[in-house]
Amino acid sequence: MLTPAQQKVKQELEELQAAGKFHHKAQQEFHTPQPSSLKKWMLSFVGILLILLLVVMYLSDPNESETVAYLVKEQHVYRQSEKLLNETLYEHPVDYQEAKMKQIQLWIKLSELNSTSRLHDHKLDLLHVMEQQQEVLIDLVASKNIDSATINQKMIELQVRKELAFDSLRAALERDNFTYETLEDGSVRYWVHSKIYTY
């Protein structure tokens, strides 16, 4: 048997142990989140990450309508430039100085068009084509009676640059997963949402 003093010490120890366990248990509940709240936080975090990923993917990859809108504008300027060169070469009389100035304006107009990042190389190649067209016009302005060998050389260089521009266009269309085909005359036909475009 325990003496009254021993019983009192035992009782105090039991009370301290009970108080200690209660306090220790309360701290554990405070620091450890419940499984259901942890799941909610994880699902919220994953949801926010997915939304951010979708936004980044949308902003980094231009959509098809932007690409088509740019190509239509670019083609319009390029066709004007091509028409101007053909009229200058094959129609007489022609004001070569005026044709050269129009060609420069068309080059500036094309250079100011905002292309998508994936069409940047194609745009540069097309600008080189238009620069070659300007060189032909400059030669015609400098010497109105230019020999046919020089014109033929410039036209061959122009044809090579055109082929490079169409190669870069096809590469850009392929990168953007456009359905396209190359026609016999070298032009490119591509499809977007069941609409057919020819460049």
Q: Tens digits of per-residue pLDDT, 136-146? A: 777 776 666 66
Stretch 34-57: mean pLDDT: 76
Is the predicted pLDDT of residue 21 greater than 80, yes or no? no
Condensed to tens digits (0 to 9), the pLDDT of residues 53-89 reads 776 665 544 567 777 777 888 888 888 888 888 887 7
Boundary (domain end) residue, out of 32, 59, 86? 59
In this structure, the answer to whether residues 42 and 98 fall within a common structural domain is: no
Helices 96-112, 120-142: inter-axial angle, 10-degree rounding: 170
> Mean pLDDT throughout 12-18?
78
The span from the CA of 61 to the CA of 43, in Å, is 27
Say if residue 171's pLDDT is above 70.
yes
Assess whether 106 and 176 both reside in one domain: yes
**Residues 158 and 177 reside in one and the same domain:** yes
Are 32 and 101 in a shared domain? Answer: no
What pLDDT score was predicted for residue 92?
65
Q: What are phi and psi of 148, to 5 degrees?
A: -70, -30
pLDDT at 22 over 70: no
Looking at per-residue confidence, does 91 or 158 come out higher? 158
Pairwise pLDDT comparison (193 vs 25), residue with the higher score: 193
The predicted structure's pLDDT at residue 47: 84
71 in the same domain as 50: no
The answer, as to whether pTM is greater than 0.75, is no
- Residue-by-residue DSSP string for the chain: ---HHHHHHHHHHHHHHHHHHHHHHHHHHHHS--HHHHHHHHHHHHHHHHHHHHHHHHHHS--HHHHHHHHHHHHHHHHHHHHHHHHHHHSSS--HHHHHHHHHHHHHHHHHS---GGGHHHHHHHHHHHHHHHHHHHHHHH-TT--HHHHHHHHHHHHHHHHHHHHHHHHHHHHTT-EEEE-TTS-EEEEETTEEEE-
Percent of the chain with pLDDT over 90: 0
Q: Is the pLDDT of residue 161 over 50?
A: yes
Give how many domains the chain has, as a whole number: 2
| 89 and 174 within one domain | yes
92 shares its domain with 186: yes
The answer on 77 and 97 residing in a single domain is: yes
Range of the domain at 71: 63-198
Mean pLDDT of 2-18: 79
Residue-wise pLDDT for 117-157, tens only, equals 777 888 888 888 888 888 877 777 666 666 777 777 888 88
CA distance 135 to 103: 10
**Are 52 and 147 found together in one domain?**
no
Length of the chain: 199
Last residue of a domain, one of 36, 59, 82: 59
Same domain (yes/no): 75, 155: yes
Q: Which of 162, 115, 112, 111 is nearest to 136 (CA)?
A: 162
Does 89 share its domain with 172?
yes
Question: Both 92 and 44 in a single domain?
Answer: no
